[in-house]
């Protein structure tokens, strides 16, 4: 193989027990934790971290923390298990805004430390003098974190119940360094354990399996969770609030606020079947349970694939399971992303692109080929729109994006990656492709990977010759910008009826009948809205809304498309609804484009955007704030 493993990691992977239970609870009988390798090739060098894992790397994090909702702070200790090379004297961690009270070794002896100069989003290096010693070291850090970018503290008024505060974290990509002192790099995988206390009656959940019973501490309770498989540190996640649980199947269930529980459980009823479908495709689910938590609407993403506990936006709840491709996507990450993780963020397509392909296969298994084809077609359209906007020769349109490359966006990392996988599947046949992808997951389970590694693996295990590799344009797909000529284009018949209706509207203003509209899938309705002429009069927009009930849609993907079109045409009746939507929803995918559309409308839209953002900004997660600030506050 082309990739290398550091000497320190090689030592541990040959001496540590690497047996991982395939399902169920924590294996308490295992005494030696599993340790993942660290890649040392130049393409695996992560410049988003200060860590020097070849010198000293974190293998395990043990947290003992208290949540302080009044101060919006978390504090306690982080005890790190460290594997050090011979002669290593320093351990370098990532730190962004932490208050460090003390650092000691395993015997309680103080260790000198310094916090270096902060470098924007990257934060600062926390350098600890560990002195000479053996390979295995223990470092204990007493600290607190206030105003952490990863944590959003919600007031009771920002929750569905309106009675208790709420907290959730969002660590991807490099935000967990704002509340956990560790080496915050996807290529430095770690096991972890956490004991977290919160005031009664709040419940704490985390992205690991529950350990023991909840501790009663009087006016507080303590909850302990453990992840006994090495994961990328951005996958350590916590949520706390007035939440309840409902099982969905033998190993699946949902957490959410009591008022949301019925709707969430109904929307997620297919989850257990999805897990079985995923296992049928690419092997056993290796994380024990697959639970989800539906968070308050300020959550900045559609979903976050935290192991054992996917974090979800409530905006996927449409009442008809039409947006549950999101669940398939987050579940698929249990293989592509969580099981095999990109070593550097420039190879993020190894997570998102492969997962988007996998998601579509799950959708096909559960909901049928038609829906899968339609959703794949929407994704393909997004690729073409992106390439038209930025140019097919833009470096950011390559799947592998070296340091310093500005990504062209999700249509490349997610959709082009999926199109690559789909093209390969069609070319070599589904049976052969599935066998290859399954062995990729198995061979690299609980390890980091790079684009070069998957390319080499394709040469070794997927194609039969270099000539076939050249015909499939493997290298061009991964390392070159644009869209290779052999891309599998979606079947034009997938949207034939909808496209005909869109043309009839564009040519003659013929609006589909309401029964036709209601009978379409969500993908079909989205396709129609995306195909509409972009210049519409107030009368035309009013007629569309009246005929199709667009402003009353309970499907947030469709509602967003309607609001974006309406605001782009300065449709006054949509302003109040946009105000309500932006005041309630914090999902960046929706929020940023709507503010951008308003700002593009000059004297009409900019005052509206600034007025709404002035009152909504504080309720958004830092991820959404950072994105929208560039649009609304750019001057």
State the alpha helices, DSSP H only, in 171-312.
258-267, 271-282
Report CA dihedral (315, 318, 324, 325) to the nearest 10 degrees. -70
Collapsing DSSP states into helix, strand and coil, what is residue 18?
coil
Longest dimension (CA), the chain: 80
Give yes or no for a contact between 379 and 414, defined as CB atoms under 8 angstroms apart. yes
Query: How far, in Å, CA of 100 to CA of 362, rounded?
Result: 45
Long-range contacts of 242-250 (CB under 8 A, 24+ apart): 242/159, 242/161, 242/163, 242/164, 242/166, 242/201, 242/202, 242/203, 243/203, 243/205, 243/293, 245/291, 248/272, 249/275
Burial label for 319, CB within 10 Å (0-12, 13-18, 19+), is: exposed
Is the backbone peptide bond immediately before 173 cis, with ω within 30 degrees of 0? yes
Query: How far, in Å, CA of 298 to CA of 584, rounded?
Result: 7
Burial 272-303 (b: 16+ CB within 10 A, else e): bebbbbbeebbbebbbbbbbbbbbbbbbbbbb
- Return the H-helix or E-strand segment holding 79: strand 73-84
Burial 425-438 (b: 16+ CB within 10 A, else e): bebbeeeebeebbe
Which phi and psi angles does 78 have, rounded to 5°? -125, 120
Give yes or no for a contact between 124 and 95, defined as CB atoms under 8 angstroms apart. yes
Give yes or no for a contact between 541 and 566, defined as CB atoms under 8 angstroms apart. yes
Query: How far, in Å, CA of 399 to CA of 451, rounded?
Result: 8
Query: How far, in Å, CA of 158 to CA of 621, rounded?
Result: 12
Q: Which two tokens stand for residue 434?
A: 């599935």
By annotation, the residues acting in catalysis are 330, 414
Phi-psi label, residue 283: left if phi above 0, alpha if psi -120 to 50, beta otherwise: left
Q: Which two tokens stand for residue 566?
A: 């309406």
Q: Which two tokens stand for residue 418?
A: 């999926």
Query: How far, in Å, CA of 92 to CA of 125, rounded?
Result: 6
């Amino acid at each position: 193989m082309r990739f290398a493993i550091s000497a320190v990691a090689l030592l541990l992977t040959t001496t540590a027990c690497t047996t991982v239970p395939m399902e169920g609870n924590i294996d308490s009988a295992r005494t030696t934790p599993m340790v993942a390798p660290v890649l040392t090739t130049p393409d695996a060098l992560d410049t988003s971290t200060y860590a020097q894992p070849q010198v000293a790397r974190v293998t395990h994090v043990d947290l003992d923390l208290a949540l302080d909702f009044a101060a919006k702070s978390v504090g306690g200790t982080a005890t790190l298990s460290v594997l050090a090379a011979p002669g290593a004297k320093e351990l370098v961690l990532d730190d962004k805004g932490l208050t460090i009270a003390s650092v000691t070794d395993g015997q309680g002896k103080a260790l000198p430390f310094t916090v270096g100069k902060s470098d924007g989003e990257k934060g600062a290096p926390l350098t600890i003098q560990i002195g000479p010693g053996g390979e295995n070291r223990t470092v204990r850090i007493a600290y607190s974190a206030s105003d952490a970018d990863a944590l959003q503290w919600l007031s009771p008024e920002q929750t569905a119940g309106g009675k208790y505060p709420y907290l959730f974290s969002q660590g991807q990509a490099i935000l967990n360094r704002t509340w956990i002192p560790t080496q915050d790099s996807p290529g430095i995988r770690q096991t972890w354990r956490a004991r977290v206390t919160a005031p009664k009656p709040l419940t704490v959940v985390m992205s690991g399996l529950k350990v023991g019973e909840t501790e009663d501490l009087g006016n507080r309770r303590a909850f302990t969770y453990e992840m006994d498989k090495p994961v990328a540190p951005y996958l350590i996640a916590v949520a706390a609030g007035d939440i309840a649980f409902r099982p969905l199947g033998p190993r699946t269930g949902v957490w959410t606020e009591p008022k949301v529980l019925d709707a969430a459980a109904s929307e997620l009823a297919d989850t257990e079947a999805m897990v079985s479908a995923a296992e049928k495709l690419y092997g056993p689910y290796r994380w024990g349970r697959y639970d989800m938590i539906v968070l308050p609407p300020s959550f900045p993403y559609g979903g976050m694939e935290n192991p054992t506990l996917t974090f979800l936006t409530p905006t996927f709840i449409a009442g008809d399971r039409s947006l549950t491709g999101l669940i398939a996507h987050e579940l698929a990450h249990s293989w592509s992303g969580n099981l095999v993780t990109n070593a550097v963020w420039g190879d993020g397509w190894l997570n998102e692109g492969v997962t988007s392909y996998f998601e579509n296969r799950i959708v096909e298994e559960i909901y049928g080929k038609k829906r899968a084809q339609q959703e794949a077609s929407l994704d393909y359209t997004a690729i073409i729109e992106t390439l038209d906007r930025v140019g097919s020769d833009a470096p950011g349109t390559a799947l592998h994006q070296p340091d310093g490359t500005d990504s062209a966006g999700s249509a490349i990392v997610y959709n082009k990656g999926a199109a690559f996988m789909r093209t390969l599947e069609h070319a070599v046949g589904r049976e052969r492709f599935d066998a290859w992808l399954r062995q990729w997951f198995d061979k690299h389970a609980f390890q980091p990977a790079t684009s070069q590694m998957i390319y080499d693996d394709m040469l070794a295990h997927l194609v039969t010759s270099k000539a076939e590799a050249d015909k499939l344009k493997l290298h061009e797909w991964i390392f070159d910008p644009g869209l290779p000529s052999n891309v599998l284009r979606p079947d034009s018949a997938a949207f034939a009826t909808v496209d005909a209706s869109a043309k009839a509207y564009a040519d003659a203003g013929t609006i589909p009948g309401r029964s036709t509209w209601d009978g379409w899938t969500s993908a079909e309705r989205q396709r129609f809205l995306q195909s509409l002429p972009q210049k519409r009069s107030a009368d035309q927009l009013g007629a569309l809304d009246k005929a199709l009930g667009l402003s009353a849609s309970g499907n947030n993907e469709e509602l967003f498309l309607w609001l974006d079109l309406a605001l782009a045409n300065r449709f006054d009746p949509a302003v109040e609804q946009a105000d309500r939507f932006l005041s309630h929803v914090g999902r960046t995918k929706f929020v940023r484009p709507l503010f951008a559309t308003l700002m593009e409308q000059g004297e009409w839209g900019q005052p509206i955007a600034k007025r709404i953002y002035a009152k909504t900004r504080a309720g958004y997660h830092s991820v959404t704030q950072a994105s929208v600030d560039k649009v609304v506050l750019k001057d």
